[in-house]
């Protein structure tokens, strides 16, 4: 049951080192191969429970956004591993290229998401899913088509985020499955406020995470997560061509059936970089108190913040985040 006067948690700007965490360890897979082959390899480690009617939750981006996951990678993955699946999306809360279904369909065409069905889940209606154990919500409004699916593959471009500090799997479904008019408003805006983005810092992280929990609980074991650490601007893909230039080096692709372990591992890889490599991204994460996403997922029992990081490029041996980010090359924008 949602609390009558909830208070946000604290310390969303404080990174907790691995040795200070407690609890069990989940498995997170890692490859440095930023390619369609790498994406397929990462997905194939975590797909055992994916079946039936499958949705692939992907941020398809604003028009001509430079940092989204390359279409050819997604096309190759879906043709080989997910031939009957649909990409699933929802309309945006802000006015832009994906605000209405009509605008959204045009943007999908411009960005080349034309090789498989794309389901805009809130184009017809909304439904509510229960939020178990939440303090802000006891239900969340989602695109009504979400419950047409038996399994969900959460395919995420990991990057910074203007409100969330960072956008990983948690943001991809917490915001990305909430419908564009009701659910996203519940997360972002205090009723009666003129500023639609007035909710921020720890309270925003918690609201978003409760929305994610509703989706994760709905799919149960039939949900899995892949994060692509490439073109990591401090800006979300919502900002399209206006995104801040990328300065953080590309890293690789990670996957897990544990959403917390996966987002935590990506954060740990960022923090394991040199100061020069991670300065801008860490500043964005901490200034927005984005680390509260991780601690609140743990409080809600959504996963483990400890994990075994498996190096798929070297026989499946366990490695540390520092080993995973050793010898990164400075970022260079690819030319299509």
Q: Is 38 contained in some domain?
A: yes
Position 7 scores a pLDDT of: 98
Q: Is 64 contained in some domain?
A: yes
pTM for the model stands at 0.98
Q: Is 188 contained in some domain?
A: yes
Q: Is 184 contained in some domain?
A: yes
- For residue 38, what are the contacts with CB-CB under 8 A and spacing of at least 6? 31, 32, 252, 253
CATH of the domain at 37: 3.40.50
- For residue 33, name the pLDDT band (cuts at 50, 70, 90): very high
Note the pLDDT tens digit of each residue in 108-128: 999 999 999 999 999 999 999
Number of domains in the chain: 1
Note the pLDDT tens digit of each residue in 261-313: 999 999 999 999 999 999 999 999 999 999 999 999 999 999 999 999 999 99
Q: Is 2 contained in some domain?
A: no
For range 145-161, the mean pLDDT: 99
What is the extent of the structural domain holding 106?
A: 20-324
Tell me what percent of the residues of the chain surpass a pLDDT of 90.
Answer: 93
Position 334 scores a pLDDT of: 74
Residue keyed to tokens 């591992």: 265
Q: Is 57 contained in some domain?
A: yes
Task: Give the C-alpha separation, 104 to 96, whole Å.
Answer: 9
Q: Is 11 contained in some domain?
A: no
Q: Is 330 contained in some domain?
A: no
For range 221-229, the mean pLDDT: 99
């Amino acid at each position: 049951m949602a609390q009558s006067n909830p208070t946000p948690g604290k310390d969303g700007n404080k990174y907790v080192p691995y040795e200070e965490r407690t609890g069990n360890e989940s498995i997170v897979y890692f490859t440095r191969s930023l390619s369609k082959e790498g994406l397929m390899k990462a997905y194939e480690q975590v797909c055992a429970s994916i079946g039936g009617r499958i949705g692939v939750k992907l941020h398809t981006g604003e028009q001509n956004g430079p940092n989204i996951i390359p279409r050819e990678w997604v096309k190759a993955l879906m043709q080989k591993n997910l031939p009957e699946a649909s990409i699933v999306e929802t309309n945006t809360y802000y006015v832009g290229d994906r605000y209405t279904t009509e605008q959204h369909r045009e943007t999908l065409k411009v960005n080349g998401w034309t090789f498989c069905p794309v389901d805009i889940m809130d184009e017809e209606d909304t439904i509510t899913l229960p939020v178990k154990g939440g303090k802000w919500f006891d239900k969340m409004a989602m695109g009504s088509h979400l419950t047409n699916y038996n399994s969900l593959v959460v395919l995420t471009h990991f990057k910074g985020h203007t409100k969330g500090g960072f956008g990983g799997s948690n943001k991809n479904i917490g915001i990305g499955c909430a419908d564009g008019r009701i659910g996203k408003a519940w997360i972002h805006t205090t009723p009666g406020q003129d500023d639609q983005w007035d909710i921020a810092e720890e309270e925003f992280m918690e609201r978003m995470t409760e929305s994610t929990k509703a989706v994760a609980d709905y799919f149960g074991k039939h949900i899995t997560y892949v994060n692509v650490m490439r073109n990591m601007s401090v800006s979300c893909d919502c900002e399209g061509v206006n995104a801040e230039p990328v300065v953080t080096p590309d890293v690789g692709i990670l996957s897990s059936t544990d959403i917390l372990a996966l987002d935590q591992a990506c954060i740990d890889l960022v923090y394991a970089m040199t100061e020069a490599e991670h300065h801008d991204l860490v500043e964005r994460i901490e200034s927005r108190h984005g680390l509260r996403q991780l601690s609140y997922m743990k409080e809600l029992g959504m996963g483990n913040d400890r994990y075994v990081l498996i190096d798929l490029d070297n026989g499946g041996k366990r490695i540390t985040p520092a080993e995973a980010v050793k010898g990164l090359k400075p970022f260079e924008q690819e030319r299509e």
